[in-house]
Amino acid sequence: MEIGEEALVAQQQVVRLQALLEASRQLHSTIEIDEVVRIALEIVVRELELDGAFFTTFPQSYGDVPPALQASMSGDAAKAAETALDQPLLRFALCDKGGAQFTELIVLLPPERVLDLDETDFLESLAVQASVAIENARFHERALQWQRVESDLAAARQVQLSLIPQEMPEIPNYALSARSVTCYEVGGDYLDIVSMPSGETVIVVADVAGKGLASALMGTSFRSALRAMVQAGLSLLEIATKINLLHYGEGDEARRRYVTGILFRLDPITHTLEAVNAGHTSAFLVAADGALTMIKASGTPFGLLPFSSYVPETFSLSPGMRLLVYTDGMTEVFCGDDEFGESRLLETFLECGQLTPDDVLDRIWQTLGEFSDGQEQSDDMTALVLFRNASWRQLSMDQPRRYLEIQIPSSLGSEKIAMNTAAEVARSMGFAEDRIEDLKTAIAEACINAMEHGNKLDETLPVGVILSTGDDSLEVRVVDTGTGPPEHTAAPDIDKKMHEEETPRGMGMFLIESLMDEAEWVSSPCTGSYARMVIRLKPD
């Protein structure tokens, strides 16, 4: 080769190299995959003055590309189409970083055109650059998709957090605290507290099998069904039975994601706690003297089997009694192969003594953290603590209603404690002395009825007196452990009494009704009964 020719070739190579650099710059100037493909095809055709070009896995083409050719080469019939066409073409594989081919660049040559070595090198180099640019664009696209997923998960987490009780309800004479921590963004634990118009509170702690979004979705569906049943006033047994059938009927996916759950209904007036445990971990109920009751499962998890045989249990909550309900994530915390377990959790709970429920949960979480040495948790964790206050307590003064509860033994004469306490409360509310005397007599009569008829004068059985003050009224409930009030007698007939046609007694309920603005007797054979009376500052 003459010196002049060599110089010309070198100059062409420099130009081609510059073109390749420019092509590379353009290809990497965008992270939009369609744009990368368009630029690559345009450079190929223009730089080498070819008829057309396309990639086998992208719909775009540049130049004169017969659609039939592109379609056939993008499918399984590629080989056949190539042989069927007269037009010469070249193929360049584009591979990912792992070396796997993900598409081919097809260039269509003009008739009789043969590419020289430099031109072929150029196309091979451009294919490599296009591979990197397309892969980067794909990573970007996946990053955007993942951002959308993350954003959805964050929104789902917010929704789930908003469905957890935001604040604990004020239950007279009880303190309550709950905590739920998910292992992933969203979890399968379900915690709910529903205050009923009757003054009762329904508490639910449940755990959907599995973790993450699928379990969270199932938990949300479970929550809706359960809340509807609670609001409909169904008993716990009815709720458990129906929700088991409902969940089972949702199909195979729901059955795989069965739900263990424990339902409670707390009556703060009669201090009774009804429970149904469906395959859930045992709850701990600890009396003030340390006596332990385990509230164990009486049936299978919800949705596992098409039949059930749940047995509700009712517990009488004495002052100072404490309840811990939790999901298995609380016991399945590990230190190496050593599981925290039920006995350690119970031990921790017992050691908490009379700490507040909030402090109890802090202590339990701290103990779990120390046990696992900060190791990442592998399951959702939920716990709820309920205390019956050790004695009476008064809620803070800024509450719309204030409560005061006292207990008196079933011995005649003790009613004066309730009378005098109520009188002080009524006096502080501004009731006139004559109305306070009315109140004292009504409370005395209700207490005597409770002692004599409800508790049969058994001095070991208490009579509860709950005073609840509003802006302009005082409500009193007198609770006994009996099966109902004495038969409601008509107004006393003094003539019959004087002629001994009617017992000289039997005037208590009449006096209560006459002296109070409202009076009623509620009979509850399972959980005790009470008389409820209301006296108003401004009578109707």
Tokens linked to 44: 């190929």
From the list 80-88, 346-354, 406-414, 466-474, the region that binds other proteins by CB under 8 A is 406-414
CB of 510 to other proteins, least distance (A): 7
Residue 376 touching other proteins (CB under 8 A): no
DSSP state of 171: B
Identity of the residue, 369 or 504, whose beta carbon is nearer to other proteins in the bound complex: 504
310 φψ region: left (φ > 0), alpha (ψ -120 to 50), beta (else): beta
Among 166, 505, 525, 540, indicate the residue that binds other proteins (CB under 8 A).
505
Q: Between the CA of residue 119 and those of 224, 291, 538, what are the distances in Å?
A: 68, 90, 103
Candidate ranges 141-149, 398-406, 477-485, 509-517; the one touching other proteins (CB under 8 A): 509-517
| Interface segment toward other proteins; rule CB under 8 A; list 121-129, 274-282, 346-354, 407-415 | 407-415
Q: Is 511 in the site for other proteins (CB under 8 A)?
A: yes
Angstrom distance (rounded) from CA 293 to CA 188: 27
Least spacing, CB of residue 452 vs other proteins, in Å: 9
Residue 94: name the closest of 58, 121, 134, 62 by CA: 134
Judged by CB, which is closer to other proteins: 11, or 420? 420
DSSP 391: S
Report in angstroms the alpha-carbon separations of 399 from 170, 200, 373, 469, 478: 9, 19, 42, 10, 22
* Shorter beta-carbon distance to other proteins: residue 108 or 419: 419
Stretch that binds other proteins, among 183-191, 366-374, 396-404, 498-506 (CB under 8 A): 498-506
**Is the separation of the CB atoms in 286 and 219 below 8 Å?**
no
Q: Per the structure block, which two tokens stand in for 122?
A: 């150029």
Q: Which residues contact 410 (CB under 8 A, 6 or more apart)?
A: 450, 451, 455, 456, 457, 458, 459, 460, 461, 462, 463, 480
Q: Judged by CB, which is closer to other proteins: 231, or 514?
A: 514
Picking from 287, 194, 272, the residue whose alpha carbon sits closest to that of residue 529 is: 272
Q: Count CB-CB contacts under 10 A for residue 21.
A: 11
Phi/psi of residue 31, each to 5°? -120, 15
- For residue 438, the minimal CB distance to other proteins (Å) is 7
Structure-token match 């379990």, residue found: 215
**DSSP3 helix / strand / coil % (the chain, rounded to 5):** 40, 25, 35
According to DSSP, residue 289 is labeled: T
Is residue 504 at the binding interface for other proteins, with CB under 8 A as the rule?
yes
211: which 2 tokens? Answer: 């973790």
Tell me the residue length of the chain. Answer: 540
Six-digit token string for 497: 């009494």
How near is the Cβ of 440 to other proteins at its closest, in Å?
8
**Residues between 16 and 35 that touch other proteins (CB under 8 A):** none
**Is residue 295 within 8 Å of 283, Cβ to Cβ?**
yes
Residue 302: DSSP 8-state:
B
Binding mask 424-453 for other proteins (x = CB under 8 A): ----------x--xx--x--xx--x-----
Distance in Å, CB of 494 to other proteins, minimum: 3
Please identify which residue in 9, 195, 413, 459 interacts with other proteins, judged by CB under 8 A: 413
Closest CA to 309 of 357, 277, 355: 277
Under DSSP, the state recorded for 454 is: I
Angle between helices 3-27 and 117-163 (to 10 degrees): 10
Residue 414 binds to other proteins (criterion: CB under 8 A): yes
Among 338, 347, 424, 493, binds other proteins (CB under 8 A): 493
Q: Which of 261, 462, 508, 528 touches other proteins by CB under 8 A?
A: 508
Site string for other proteins, 512-531 (x = CB under 8 A): --x-----------------
Should residue 234 be labelled a site residue for other proteins when binding is judged by CB under 8 A?
no
Cβ 460 to other proteins shortest distance, Å: 18
Q: What residues numbered 281-310 form the site for other proteins, per CB under 8 A? A: none
Is 12 one of the binding residues for other proteins (CB under 8 A)? no
Out of 157, 344, 497, 536, the only residue in the binding site for other proteins (CB under 8 A) is: 497
What angle (nearest 5°) sits at the alpha carbon of residue 360, between those of residues 289 and 348?
Answer: 65
The residue among 505 and 538 lying less far from other proteins, judged by its C-beta, is: 505
Among 494, 518, 523, 526, binds other proteins (CB under 8 A): 494
Instruction: Tell me how far, at minimum, the Cβ of 499 lies from other proteins, in Å.
Output: 8
What minimum distance in Å lies between the beta carbon of 484 and other proteins? 19
User: If you search the block for the tokens 């209560």, which residue do you land on?
Assistant: 512
| 259-267 vs 381-388, strand pairing mode | unpaired
Residue 458 touching other proteins (CB under 8 A)? no
Q: Which of 13, 198, 420, 523 binds other proteins (CB under 8 A)?
A: 420
How many residues lie near other proteins (CB under 8 A)?
A: 30
Residue numbers of the site for other proteins (CB under 8 A)?
Answer: 411-417, 420, 434, 437-438, 441, 444-445, 448, 492-495, 497-498, 500, 503-505, 507-508, 510-511, 514
